[in-house]
């Protein structure tokens, strides 16, 4: 890895480490835990730093002298990137440390990596790049306040064009990259992760007494939108919420020096002007290990920047079980699921922040449920082991593609040409497969329960809409018929989704009741209902689950990314965490795996002493 200004050692040393320092340190450590050797190259900013430091087992940080051996502001580092790249090449040349992949973080690291790769002789090394933030977006929102070098936009585009693959941290970044002319086929979305050993709901929390606390965490610069939260606080107090206070964590200095921080002074002046100066507590910079206790003390954590490349604070809050109010921008639009893990609001709109906070304050049960959903989402999708596995998959793909490109092809006219859109689609299939593999235990449990229930004379019912209806029919047909080897038929039926049934029931009772009505007619206590939905939000399937539970049926769901309403209300669920086009492909793999496990368990059980009893009951 190359991380030019953000050394992962800053995290260990207790310095004011930013998001990139944390990201690189955690990703490197998680990859090493997956048995990779990781070397992180960073610029030497202190003459006393050793050449190499072992940060963790399998992770070394190597310092390269490029420019002054002292602190240099990030936006002034560009002139030293060629020297950094040449220094990396010298370290790698002639050693046994030639990497399989070079992963650059931030645009200037991408420049240094391109120089290093150009200097290295021999077989090509693929470069993977993560921008972390885009200059075009920063300039759009900050205008004249943007201190980036004027060359940034051009160099970012050049890095994006020349790198083998781009890792974007959210779907909004993919759209931004496409607008720059960089094809989505060379981009994968891998989010940032959360340290679940540090951020969790069970640790200490600060005592708030009788006061209800709102918390916001981050830098105090205008684009972070802390002033919007202060304005919202004033409106809430004016409308009767007298027991509120806002804690603002962040800034370049500790609480004892905030009077020298221009942004802290600006926010303090605003709070006093609005008459809530005694309710706004500026905490200044806190150590990372101090932040979880602050988050756990909050009724809600508010993150309302004008824009945000990714935004780690909402995930840290969700990991602590706290609901989030987030602006619908950048990475926050991906991480915070509206109405499920928190509430999304329009950017730069204090009125919407007021409405969202009032709802959470007035409905603590709903807020607590959102907190639980957020914790579940973070654990399943944003832990560093999950992020490392997704990153590893990208590495494997680019390494294999590079190796393949080096093979001799004597007949160039026979070269296989993969259309970009097809390649882009197929690249997403492994994510669905990994998601199903990670939940193999759920499928095994379903297979065991199905054998038991069906052998005792109960039935399986399945339902879905559109393509999911076809998959529901497919599973039922495999059980009534056979999956591989011959065996007796079992009672499984797909609830009708054909036009005459839908129109007949829909006309009389409404489309939402199409499946619920069939369950009321066919279902019995002890039967199993499996519902398939890519979104998990189809009202007719939610109503089916409600009707099934009312008569004592067991409910299961195959859905897309969780949390979602259907996933939360069924007794057991498998959520395929993949882009929407690949969810149904994951469902089909899950169905085939379930059928195979069902057959294997049936053979095992029929060879047991219970065989005669099961056979008799089944007849």
What DSSP assignment string belongs to 292-303? Answer: HHHHHT-SEEEE
| Sheet of 127-130, strands arranged across | 102-105, 127-130, 165-168, 187-189
User: Nearest-CA neighbor of 215 among 302, 320, 319, 344?
Assistant: 302
| Cα 441 to Cα 558, 566, 589, distances in angstroms | 14, 20, 14
Neighbouring C-alpha atoms within 13 Å toward the C-beta of 534: 18
Chain-centre distance for alpha carbon 483: 35
Quick one: angle between helices 152-162 and 107-119, nearest 10?
Answer: 50
Q: Which pLDDT tens digit goes with each residue over 583-596?
A: 999 999 999 999 99
User: Nearest-CA neighbor of 223 among 309, 317, 322, 331?
Assistant: 309
Chain-centre distance for alpha carbon 106: 19
| Cα 87 to Cα 112, 117, 230, distances in angstroms | 9, 11, 48
Q: Which pLDDT tens digit goes with each residue over 509-550?
A: 888 899 999 999 999 999 999 999 999 989 999 999 999 999
The 10 Å Cβ neighbour count of residue 98 is 13
What are residue 349's phi and psi, to 5 degrees?
-135, 90
List the beta bridge partners of residue 129.
Answer: 104, 166
pTM of the model: 0.66
Fold of 212-381: Rossmann fold (3.40.50)
Q: Residue 372: what pLDDT? A: 94
Q: What is the DSSP letter of 230?
A: H
Residues of the chain with CATH 3.40.50.10490: 433-618
CA angle 370, 292, 195 (to 5 degrees): 85
464: Cβ contacts below 8 Å, ≥ 6 apart: 470, 471, 472, 497, 531, 532, 533, 541
Q: Which pLDDT tens digit goes with each residue over 449-506?
A: 999 999 989 999 999 998 899 999 999 999 999 887 788 899 999 998 766 776 777 6
The 10 Å Cβ neighbour count of residue 141 is 16
What DSSP assignment string belongs to 307-364? Answer: --SS-SHHHHHHHTT--EEEESSTTHHHHS-BTTTEEEE-TT-HHHHHHHHHHHHH-H
Given a contact cutoff of 8 angstroms between Cβ atoms, the answer to whether 591 and 577 are in contact is: no
> Where do runs of H (alpha helix) occur along 463-609?
467-480, 499-509, 514-522, 539-550, 565-569, 580-606
List the beta bridge partners of residue 130.
Answer: 105
Say if residue 563 is preceded by a cis peptide, omega within 30 of 0: yes
Residue 329 to residue 308: CA distance in whole angstroms: 6
Enumerate residue ranges in the chain where pLDDT < 50.
14-16, 409-418, 609-619
| Cα 459 to Cα 122, 451, 522, 606, distances in angstroms | 63, 10, 10, 19
What percent of the chain is helix, strand and coil (3-state, nearest 5)?
50, 15, 35
Residues of the chain with CATH 3.40.50.2000: 9-189, 212-381
Q: Residue 141: what pLDDT? A: 84
Q: Residue 419: what pLDDT? A: 60
Chain-centre distance for alpha carbon 612: 49
User: Nearest-CA neighbor of 301 among 271, 321, 286?
Assistant: 321
Given a contact cutoff of 8 angstroms between Cβ atoms, the answer to whether 570 and 545 are in contact is: yes
- One of 3.40.640.10, 3.90.1150.10, 3.40.50.1000, 3.40.50.10490 is the CATH number of 433-618, namely 3.40.50.10490
Q: What is the DSSP letter of 43?
A: E
CATH 3.40.50.2000 for domain 9-189, yes or no, is yes
Q: Residue 12: what pLDDT? A: 63
């Amino acid at each position: 890895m190359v991380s030019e200004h953000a050394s992962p050692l800053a995290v260990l040393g207790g310095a004011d480490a930013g998001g990139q320092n944390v990201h690189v340190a955690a990703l490197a450590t998680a990859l090493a835990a997956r048995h990779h050797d990781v070397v992180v190259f960073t610029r030497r900013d202190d003459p006393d730093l050793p050449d190499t430091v072992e940060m963790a087992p399998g992770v070394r940080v190597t310092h390269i002298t490029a420019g002054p051996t002292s602190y240099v502001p990030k936006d002034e580092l560009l002139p030293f990137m060629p020297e950094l790249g040449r220094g990396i090449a010298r370290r790698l040349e002639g050693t046994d440390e030639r990497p399989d992949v070079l992963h650059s973080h931030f645009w200037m690291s991408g420049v240094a990596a391109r120089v290093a790769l150009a200097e290295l002789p021999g077989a090509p090394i693929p470069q993977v790049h993560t921008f972390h933030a885009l200059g075009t977006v920063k300039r759009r929102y900050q205008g004249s306040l943007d201190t980036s070098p004027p060359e940034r936009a051009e160099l970012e585009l050049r890095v994006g064009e020349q790198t083998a693959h781009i890792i974007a941290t959210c779907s909004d970044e993919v759209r931004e990259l496409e607008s720059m002319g960089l094809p989505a086929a060379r981009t994968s979305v891998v989010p940032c992760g959360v340290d679940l050993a540090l951020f969790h709901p069970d640790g200490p929390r600060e005592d708030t007494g009788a006061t209800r606390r709102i918390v916001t965490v981050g830098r105090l610069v205008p684009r972070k939108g802390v002033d919007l939260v202060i304005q919202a606080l004033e409106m809430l107090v004016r409308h009767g919420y007298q027991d509120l206070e806002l804690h603002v964590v962040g800034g370049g200095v500790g609480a004892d020096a905030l009077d020298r921080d221009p942004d802290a002074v600006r926010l303090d002046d605003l709070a006093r002007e609005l008459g809530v100066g005694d309710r706004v507590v500026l905490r200044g910079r806190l150590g990372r290990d101090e932040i979880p206790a602050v988050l756990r003390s909050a009724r809600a954590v508010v993150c309302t920047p004008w824009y945000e490349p990714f935004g780690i604070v909402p995930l840290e809050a969700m990991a602590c079980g706290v609901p989030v109010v987030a602006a619908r921008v950048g990475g926050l639009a991906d991480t915070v699921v509206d109405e499920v893990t928190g509430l999304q609001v329009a950017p730069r709109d204090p009125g919407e922040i007021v409405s969202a906070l009032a709802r959470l304050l007035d409905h603590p049960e709903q807020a607590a449920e959102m907190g639980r959903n957020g914790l579940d989402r973070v654990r399943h999708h944003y832990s560093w082991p999950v992020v490392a596995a997704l990153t590893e998959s990208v590495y494997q793909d680019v390494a294999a593609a590079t190796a393949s490109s080096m093979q001799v092809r004597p007949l160039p006219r026979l070269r296989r040409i993969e259309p970009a859109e097809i390649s882009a689609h197929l690249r997403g299939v492994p994510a669905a497969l990994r998601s199903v593999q990670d939940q193999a235990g759920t499928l095994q449990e379903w297979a065991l329960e199905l054998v038991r229930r069906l052998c005792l004379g109960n039935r399986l019912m399945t339902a879905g809409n559109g393509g999911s209806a076809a998959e529901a029919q497919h599973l039922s047909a495999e059980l009534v018929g056979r999956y591989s080897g011959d065996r007796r038929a079992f009672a499984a039926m797909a609830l009708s989704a054909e036009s005459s049934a839908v129109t007949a029931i829909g006309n009389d009772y409404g489309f939402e009741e199409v499946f619920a009505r069939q369950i009321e007619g066919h279902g019995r206590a002890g039967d199993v209902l499996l519902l398939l939905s890519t979104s998990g939000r189809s009202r007719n399937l939610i109503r089916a689950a409600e009707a099934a539970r009312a008569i004592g049926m067991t409910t299961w769901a195959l859905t897309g990314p969780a949390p979602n309403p259907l996933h939360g209300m069924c007794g057991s669920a498998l959520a395929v965490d993949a882009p929407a086009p690949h969810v149904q492909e994951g469902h089909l793999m899950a169905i085939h795996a379930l059928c195979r496990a069902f057959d294997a368990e049936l053979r095992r059980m029929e060879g047991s002493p219970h065989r005669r009893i099961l056979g008799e009951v089944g007849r």
